[in-house]
Amino acid sequence: MDRSTAGFDQLTRFWLDTAPARGVVTRLDESLMRSLADHCYPEPVKSMLRQMTGACVMLASNLKQPATIVMQVQGSGAVPLMCVEATQALTFRAYANVREDAVIPADSTLSAMVDPASAGRFVLTIDPEVGQMYQSIVAMEDTSVAKILEGYLINSQQTDTRVWLREDGEAIEAAILERLPDRHEGEDFKRWLAMAALMDDTFAQPFMPFPFDEWLRMTFVGEDVRVHPAQIVSFACPCSLDRVLNALKLVGIDELLPIADEEGEIKTQCEFCGARYVVSRSQLLSLFTRADAGDSSSARTLH
């Protein structure tokens, strides 16, 4: 069975016609390895970023218009920030800020890394290309990404929702199951609990990357499962020289010019993908004096 058949770096949505539930499942491996390849994060940090990525991609699959979902955990610990961005096109990128010389034990939990004082925050932002940005901030009251996201979804959508995340080496398998409105009072809730229990059983078993339709039918034995065609999930970073120049313009010439005077240039690096950008002193001056500040043809990029 090849990677494509096994559903790696893909996502699919599904409905249960015989039960009040619908969901999403995804498996990521090579795309995750690409996204983290330029970073020397401790393994516990990589693990949490993998889990956040699986969760964020599933949320992005529900976007109805061009937009980006930004999922962050913030605190004052050894890892004060972990951030994953995913788009409606199912592209993603991930980043963590790890304090210099931080010692992170192999068994560290999310809360232990981000904020051991239990004052950390989970921040979810939906940033559409057109329209108003929406942001929700909740306390990190649980230690796992799955439980934090479950609590957020239940409170925001006012419906029962379960989230599962599991790793196998550098791969992640993730699923969301959402309860649909009752059609038969009382009986539907029992059916919902039964479907969630079936998914619990599947995630308690060893990692088995069968094709999505086969995997779902093995999970929900005896149920009518409608499986939508799988979609490709990929790592992509939208950073560019134009964005770097726009960011520099926001910083201002007074702060940047002393650096350029001393070093002859301004160096910056994308925190997500590691791409390096260099702008010379003369190019910096031109950025703040020419009428068209977006003309970046004379600057150069180093990768």
DSSP string, 289-300: HSS-TT--TT-E
Of 204, 235, 266, the residue at which a domain comes to its end is: 235
Question: Can you give the pLDDT at residue 60?
Answer: 96
Residue 230's domain comprises 10-235
Contact 83, 72 (CB under 8 A): yes
In whole angstroms, what is the distance from residue 194 CA to residue 3 CA? 31
**Does residue 4 lie within any of the structural domains?**
no
Q: Is residue 292 part of a domain?
A: yes
Number of structural domains found in the chain: 2
| Last residue in a domain, options 235, 263, 286 | 235
pLDDT band at 31 (very low <50, low <70, confident <90, very high): very high
What pTM, to 2 d.p., does this model score? 0.86
254 and 202 fall within a common domain: no
- Shared domain check, 285 and 216: no
- Is residue 248 included in any domain, yes or no? yes
**Pair (42, 138) in one structural domain:** yes
**Residue 166 shares a structural domain with residue 250:** no
| Residues 35 and 144 grouped into a single domain | yes
Look at residue 100 and tell me whether its pLDDT is greater than 70. yes
DSSP states along 151-186: HHHHHHH-S-EEEEEEEETTEEEEEEEEEPPPSSTT
228 and 111 within one domain: yes
User: Parallel, antiparallel, or unpaired: how do β-strands 10-16 and 225-227 relate?
Assistant: antiparallel
Plot region of 50 (φ>0 → left; ψ -120 to 50 → alpha; else → beta):
alpha
Q: 201 and 121: one domain?
A: yes
76: number of Cβ within 10 Å: 12
pLDDT in tens, 116-131: 887 889 999 999 999 9
How sure is the predictor about 295, in pLDDT bands with cuts at 50, 70 and 90?
A: very low
- Are 223 and 181 contained in the same domain? yes
Q: In the structure, what pLDDT confidence band is assigned to residue 38 with cuts at 50, 70 and 90?
A: confident
In a domain, residue 93? The reply is yes
Instruction: Give the distance from CA 280 to its chain's centroid.
Output: 34
Q: What is the 3-state secondary structure (H, E, C) of 57-124?
A: HHHHCCCCCCEEEEEEEECCCCCCEEEEEEECCCEEEEEEECCCCCCCCCCCCHHHHHCCCCCCEEEE
Does 36 map to a domain? yes
Which residue, of 189, 211, 235, is where some domain finishes? 235
Reported confidence tier of residue 293, pLDDT bands at 50, 70, 90: very low
Does 288 share its domain with 162? Answer: no
CATH code at position 105: 3.55.30.10
% of the chain exceeding 90 in pLDDT: 60
Residues 6+ apart with CB under 8 A from 226: 14, 15, 16, 17
Residue 1 lies in a domain: no
Say yes or no: 25 and 93 in one domain.
yes
Count of beta carbons in the 10 Å neighbourhood of residue 119: 14
Query: Could you tell me if 53 and 235 are in contact, meaning their C-beta atoms sit under 8 angstroms apart?
Result: no
Measure the CA–CA gap between 98 and 40, rounded to whole angstroms. 10
Classified as helix, coil or strand, 42 is: coil
In a domain, 2, yes or no: no
Which CATH number fits the domain that encloses residue 280? Answer: 3.90.1280.10
In a domain? residue 170 = yes
* 63 and 164 housed in the same domain: yes
As a whole number of Å, the CA-based R_g of the chain is 22
> Which tokens sit at 240?
């560019």
- pLDDT for position 302: 37
Do 167 and 56 belong together in one domain?
yes
